[in-house]
Chain A
Amino acid sequence: MLKTTPLHDAHKGLSAKMGAFAGYDMPLYYKEGVIAEHEWVRSHTGLFDVSHMGQVIIEGPGAAEFLERLTPSSFQKKKHGRAQYTVLTNEQGGIIDDLIITRLSEDKFFAVINAGCKEKDIEWIQKNLPDDLKFTHMYDYALLALQGAWAERILHETFQINAHDLPYMHLMEAEALYGSKIFVSRLGYTGEDGFELSIPVSKAVDAWDALMDHPEVKPVGLAARDSLRLEMGYPLYGHDIDSETSPVEADLSWIIGKTNTGFMGAERVLREKEQGTARKRVGVKLLDRGIAREGAEIRGSDDKKIGGLTSGGFSPVLKESIGQGYIESSLANMGEKIFVNVRGRNIPAEVTAMPFVPAKTKSMKKRAA
């Protein structure tokens, strides 16, 4: 039996094509189709229901230190309201999940975790949780993502929330819908400016309806969410990263905090950061017709296997086949000519810098007053 989000009826009312994702019955696309939705987010503003994702709070004295044990990032000096993309590492330095952790106050942190990893993450965090820290699963909160160039204005027109001075990767608390407290985080999974709104389940339908009533908002399903993140080169857990891949292999070394040496799996991760890895995650673009998807082999000019795609598909913006995968590190150079084998045929391709399409997210710096 598939689980549902508080907006399940709303999606059905919009004639969404539904499909199973991480145990949830979720909208894959609505009436206009994946490409139209993708282009709408890139040119206007789209609304996503991502309430299947997990929202948790970790709080108490030493919460920052605890997060530096669970992740390779630094949290002790993070400013209040600052959000950090990071990963939970296991003892072998593999990735348990990727997530965004936001410092709400000195000893209180808010994290958004992948739907498919929820149970595993919660068990892992609770197993390692020091006695004086408190863990809360905000199962009674929905999560909406408003993504696109007009998001700031739409947020203001719909909820009278002024996020003008909120920089990228920052969170503010706000009141909406007659006094409900919500979290407004300026981030997302699309590469556009936009927000994720953490809203009590009791107000989720009202919030969705209010945003949908805005003439410039269209609903966007998980299929376009995937093609949008693919154009940005963002990894998808369970595909591009998993319990075997380390953050260094995954080309996520930038999340490793300079002062954090005591996290789970640090031995492998820091050694790899110093000495390099045998393989590395890269972007791949086909130079000829065809669509290369997850599982396709990457081959050298001698037809020898040198890696494999972990994600891939059609880019609605570039009208080309793009993907990401792992390749021998000695070949992980921008412009390196390779082949991707699709149904027995070697299609010419090249190693490409990510994002494939320029990100339009705002500056992380505080704006001038």
Chain B
Amino acid sequence: MAELKYTEDHEWVAVDGDVVSIGITGYAQEALGDLVFVELPEVGKKVGKGDDFAVVESVKTAAEVYSPVAGEVVEVNVAMADDLELIKKPANENGWIARIKIEDPSELEGLMDESKYKEFTDGLD
């Protein structure tokens, strides 16, 4: 079972060796409202720490999805383009948007664990 970490931009990051799967949290989904489109990156795309690599669109707005780590996109969830409901699923049930091969695992250290993230979102309301 991959370890789950969270960002302040409401991505979850499932760590599995040097590859991370990234999705958006329930909090983000709630804030965006009805989702209508996801723009996936190309496999092979290089991303820097903090760069956006995908866009999730709701009826009202477009929200960038950021990578908390530098690396290269090694896999995208093409099934999600046809079935947006997948975005609500956890990492191990195809809820991830893309997988990124990381360059520097120490970049993961600043991320929140589940209880920290819960504290963080509780403080936002």
Contacts and interface: CB of A to CB of B under 8 A. Distances in A.
Interface of A: 17, 28-29, 33-36, 223, 227, 289-291, 293, 313-314, 316, 321, 343
7 contacts: A33-B34, A34-B34, A227-B59, A291-B57, A291-B62, A293-B62, A314-B57
A289 B37 contact: yes
A28 B60 contact: yes
A314 B81 contact: no
Given A227-B59, A291-B62, A313-B59, A35 B37 contact: no
Contact of B33 (A17, A313, A316): A17
A14 to B, nearest CB: 16
B80 interface: no
A289 B57 CA distance: 12
Nearest to A320: B36
B55 interface: yes
Contact of A34 (B33, B37, B55): B33
B59 A316 contact: yes
Nearest to A343: B55
A35 B39 CA distance: 20
A223 B34 CA distance: 11
Contacts of A17: 33
B34 A35 contact: yes
Given A28-B60, A293-B62, A33 B55 contact: no
A314 B33 contact: no
Interface of B: 33-34, 36-37, 39, 55, 57-60, 62, 81
A27 to B, nearest CB: 13
Given A223-B59, A223-B60, A343-B55, A291 B34 contact: no
A226 to B, nearest CB: 8
Given A34-B33, A343-B55, A289 B62 contact: no
Most buried by B among A36, A290, A314: A314
B33 A29 contact: yes
B117 to A, nearest CB: 22
Contacts of B34: 33-36
Given A291-B62, A293-B62, A314 B37 contact: yes
A343 B81 CA distance: 18
Nearest to B55: A343
B59 A314 contact: yes
A291 B39 CA distance: 9
A117 to B, nearest CB: 22
Most buried by A among B37, B59, B81: B59
Contacts of B39: 290, 343
Contacts of A289: 37, 81
Contacts of B59: 34-35, 223, 227, 313-314, 316
Contacts of B81: 289
Contacts of A28: 60
A73 to B, nearest CB: 33
Contacts of A314: 36-37, 57, 59
A34 B60 contact: yes
A291 B58 CA distance: 9
Nearest to B59: A34
Nearest to A319: B36
Most buried by B among A17, A290, A291: A291
A33 B33 contact: yes
A321 B57 CA distance: 11
Nearest to A223: B60
Nearest to A19: B60
Contacts of B57: 291, 314
B33 A223 contact: yes
Contacts of B37: 289-291, 314, 321
B124 to A, nearest CB: 14
A290 B36 CA distance: 9
A167 to B, nearest CB: 33
B85 to A, nearest CB: 13
